[in-house]
């Protein structure tokens, strides 16, 4: 009887785990789960803690983190002298793009444009030439993604 009860519990646990995996809430790459909607957006924030725009600004400038200025002009960041022009200007991005779409661009822009040269900032597979110490880690953490978005949603060109 005892044995049966144990087997039963183990069986139930198995079913529960399978259900969770199916719902997409368990990942094997250590990243937080997220749902991509319509190949264009990730509506839900990756973390419960709201993003910190001041830290987001730092991450955008940091060459070892976002390094966004390497490719994007942001008028509000003129204090950093250099910026590239490979990507579109982000000075007015908050007027043109909702946070949900910014989130997918940061997490994995290849879903929007398979040929983009913009890096996937929250991904551990499908990256190439990753230095050993960074293998298995995304470029930005889930919280850092939310911090960058909190900054991007402040970017509106003066009208
Ligand atoms: C290596 C260059 C490169 C880097 C680094 C880069 N991007 Fe991009 N980004 C691009 C390009 C190119 C596009 C144009 C769309 C495409 O290629 O799919 C783009 C598009 C975008 C868009 C959509 C803009 C629009 O008007 O449609 C956003 C938002 C964005 N990037 C934000 C960022 C942020 C924030 C960072 C830093 C965390 C960053 N990018 C880093 C190259 C880059």
The CA distance from 109 to 125, in Å, is 14
Identify the residue whose C-alpha is closest to ligand 1 atom 27: 88
Over residues 96-108, the mean pLDDT reads: 98
**Does a structural domain hold residue 112?**
yes
**Does a structural domain hold residue 107?**
yes
Q: How many CA atoms lie within 13 A of 17 on its CB side?
A: 7
Neighbours of 101 (CB within 10 A): 18
Distance from Cα 11 to the centre of ligand 1, integer Å: 47
Q: What is the span of the domain harbouring residue 55? A: 31-152
Number of domains in the chain: 2
Instruction: Look at residue 101 in the predicted model and tell me its pLDDT.
Output: 98
**Does a structural domain hold residue 137?**
yes
**Does a structural domain hold residue 158?**
no
Instruction: Look at residue 22 in the predicted model and tell me its pLDDT.
Output: 41
Instruction: Indicate if 129 and 117 belong to the same structural domain.
Output: yes
* pTM of the full structure: 0.84
Listed in sequence order, the residues at least 6 apart from 109 whose beta carbon sits closer than 8 Å to its beta carbon are 116, 118, 119, 120
Percent of the chain with pLDDT over 70: 77
| Most informative mutation of 53, 87, 149 for ligand 1 (most atoms within 8 A of CB) | 87
Instruction: Indicate if 24 and 91 belong to the same structural domain.
Output: no
Instruction: Indicate if 55 and 122 belong to the same structural domain.
Output: yes
Distance from Cα 87 to the centre of ligand 1, integer Å: 5
Distance from Cα 79 to the centre of ligand 1, integer Å: 20
91 vs 8 pLDDT, higher one: 91
Over residues 135-153, the mean pLDDT reads: 94
Over residues 128-157, the mean pLDDT reads: 88
Contact present, 55 and 147 (Cβ < 8 Å): yes
pLDDT at 79 over 80: yes
Which atom of ligand 1 is least distant from the CA of 59?
38
Q: What is the pLDDT of residues 48-67, one digit of tens each?
A: 999 999 999 999 999 999 99
113 vs 130 pLDDT, higher one: 113
Instruction: Look at residue 130 in the predicted model and tell me its pLDDT.
Output: 64
Over residues 77-100, the mean pLDDT reads: 96
**Does a structural domain hold residue 53?**
yes
CATH code of 82's domain: 1.10.760.10
The CA distance from 143 to 45, in Å, is 9
Instruction: Indicate if 53 and 25 belong to the same structural domain.
Output: no
pLDDT at 28 over 70: no
Place of tokens 């402040």: 154
């Amino acid at each position: 009887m005892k044995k049966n009860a144990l087997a039963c519990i183990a069986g139930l646990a198995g079913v529960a785990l399978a259900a969770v995996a199916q719902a997409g809430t368990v990942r094997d790459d250590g990243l937080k789960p997220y749902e991509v909607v319509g190949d264009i957006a990730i509506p839900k924030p990756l973390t419960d803690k709201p993003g910190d725009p001041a830290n987001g600004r730092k991450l955008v400038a940091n060459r070892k983190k976002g390094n966004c200025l390497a490719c994007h002009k942001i008028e509000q960041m003129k204090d950093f002298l250099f910026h590239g022009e490979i990507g579109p200007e982000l000075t007015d991005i908050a007027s043109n793009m909702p946070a949900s779409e910014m989130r997918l661009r940061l997490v994995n822009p290849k879903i929007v444009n398979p040929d983009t040269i913009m890096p996937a900032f929250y991904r551990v597979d499908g990256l190439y030439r990753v230095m050993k110490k960074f293998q298995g880690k995304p470029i930005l953490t889930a919280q850092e993604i939310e911090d960058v978005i909190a900054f991007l949603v402040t970017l509106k060109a003066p009208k």
